[in-house]
């Protein structure tokens, strides 16, 4: 016996808490829905056609960078291309779009980590975003490798790692639960060996303390998934405004329905009605 859910508002990125399994909350406007409780139930999502920028509330025909209007996309530091390519950080040139935001989001300690989301990958995140970032990527395990002084340096280290390891998640494999087992502590040792010269060169320029190897232990994560999809079909609210299906799992920022998967993050800012009927 469970209660009906009927909420209306803008989708936000799903908050999640580490655990076995991870606990997810669906954020719709000001409402919060405990998703793990809804596994096995029929959920319905209706997009009313309105997208509102998650920064300025303006109505926008199209969502840029997962939830922003075009003016914000052009103006905010969070939407600058150096966020996707941190090695292109231009803070030191005095051209950061929002230097104060840069101070608190980029010029602070970052973690370079290894994760297993669909196989081994390298990634970077602000130290305070661990383990949120790992959960958003649907990683089943992750381990910090280096702590570095800024997002820029993290980007440079990541570039060095990219010639040896992927930096992307194969999200279809991730959603199928198709993930090999890996010994991340061992992979970390191997990777540090492979990038030893790169790290020495970076330390020479940026200071010995700017890049610290860490032996912190990793984190294993499991997800509330009852049925793994055999074929990954995606729902797209831009094309079909009504989506319904039985909730079979939640992983990364995806809801896995028996009719297909939906990436909630992609539809951040979309005004929707989310419903589950009482059993
Ligand atoms: Zn805006």
3-state secondary structure 156-168: HHHHHHHCCCECC
SS3 241: coil
End-to-end CA distance of the chain: 6
Q: 53 C-alpha vs ligand 1 centroid, how far in Å?
A: 5
Angle subtended at Cα 145 by Cα 139 and Cα 148, rounded to the nearest 5 degrees:
115
Predicted local distance difference test score (pLDDT) of residue 192: 97
Which of 49, 1, 43 minimizes the C-alpha distance to 24? 43
Q: 60 C-alpha vs ligand 1 centroid, how far in Å?
A: 8
Q: 247 C-alpha vs ligand 1 centroid, how far in Å?
A: 32
Q: What are phi and psi of 124, to 5 degrees?
A: -130, 150
Predicted local distance difference test score (pLDDT) of residue 201: 97
Q: Is 138 left (phi over 0), alpha (psi -120 to 50) or beta?
A: left
Q: Judge residue 251's burial from the number of C-beta atoms within 10 Å of its C-beta, 0-12 exposed, 13-18 middle, 19 or more buried.
A: buried
Predicted local distance difference test score (pLDDT) of residue 178: 85
Residue 260: both structure tokens together: 């297909």
Q: 10 C-alpha vs ligand 1 centroid, how far in Å?
A: 14
Residues in CB range of 162: below 8 A, 6 or more apart? 122
Which of 230, 231, 225 minimizes the C-alpha distance to 252? 225
pLDDT tens across 174-201, in order? 999 989 999 999 999 999 999 999 999 9
Q: 254 C-alpha vs ligand 1 centroid, how far in Å?
A: 24
Reported confidence tier of residue 278, pLDDT bands at 50, 70, 90: confident
Residue 1 in this model has a pLDDT that exceeds 60: no
Q: 249 C-alpha vs ligand 1 centroid, how far in Å?
A: 32
Predicted local distance difference test score (pLDDT) of residue 137: 96
pLDDT tens across 202-261, in order? 999 999 999 999 999 999 999 999 999 999 999 999 999 999 999 999 999 999 999 999
* Residues 200-239 as b or e (16 or more Cβ within 10 Å = b): eebeeebeeeebeeeeeebbebebbbeeebeebeebebee
Residue 38: both structure tokens together: 């809804």
Predicted local distance difference test score (pLDDT) of residue 2: 61
pLDDT tens across 60-103, in order? 999 999 999 999 999 999 999 999 999 999 999 999 999 999 99
Residue 125: both structure tokens together: 């995140």
Q: 59 C-alpha vs ligand 1 centroid, how far in Å?
A: 8
Q: 57 C-alpha vs ligand 1 centroid, how far in Å?
A: 6
Residues in CB range of 235: below 8 A, 6 or more apart? 243, 257, 259, 260, 261, 262
Q: 157 C-alpha vs ligand 1 centroid, how far in Å?
A: 32
Residues in CB range of 70: below 8 A, 6 or more apart? 60, 62, 64
Q: 63 C-alpha vs ligand 1 centroid, how far in Å?
A: 10
Predicted local distance difference test score (pLDDT) of residue 197: 97
pLDDT tens across 91-118, in order? 999 999 999 999 999 999 999 999 999 9
């Amino acid at each position: 016996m469970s209660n009906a859910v009927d909420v209306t508002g803008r989708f936000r990125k799903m908050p999640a808490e580490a655990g076995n399994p991870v606990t997810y909350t669906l954020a719709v406007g000001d409402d919060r829905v405990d998703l793990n409780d809804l596994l096995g139930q029929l959920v319905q999502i209706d997009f009313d056609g309105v997208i509102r920028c998650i920064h300025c509330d303006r109505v926008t025909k199209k969502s840029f960078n997962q939830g922003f209007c075009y003016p914000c996309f052009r103006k905010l530091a969070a939407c600058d291309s150096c966020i996707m390519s941190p090695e292109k950080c231009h803070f030191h040139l005095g051209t950061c779009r929002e230097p104060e935001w840069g101070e608190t989001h980029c010029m602070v300690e970052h973690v370079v980590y290894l994760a297993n989301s669909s196989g081994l990958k390298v990634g970077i995140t602000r130290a305070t975003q661990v383990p949120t970032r790992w959960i958003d990527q649907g990683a089943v395990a992750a381990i910090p490798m280096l702590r570095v002084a800024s997002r820029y340096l993290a980007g440079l280290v990541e570039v060095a790692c990219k010639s040896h390891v992927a930096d992307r998640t194969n999200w279809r494999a991730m959603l199928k639960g198709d993930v090999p087992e890996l010994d991340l502590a061992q992979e970390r040792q191997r990777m540090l060996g492979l990038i030893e010269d790169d790290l020495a060169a970076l330390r020479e320029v940026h200071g010995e303390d700017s890049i610290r190897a860490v032996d912190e232990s990793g984190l294993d994560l499991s997800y509330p998934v009852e049925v793994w999809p055999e074929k990954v079909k995606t729902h797209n609210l831009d094309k079909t405004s009504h989506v319904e299906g039985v909730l079979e799992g939640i992983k990364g920022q995806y809801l896995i329905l028996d009719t297909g998967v939906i990436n909630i993050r992609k539809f951040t800012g979309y005004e929707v009605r989310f419903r589950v009927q009482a059993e």
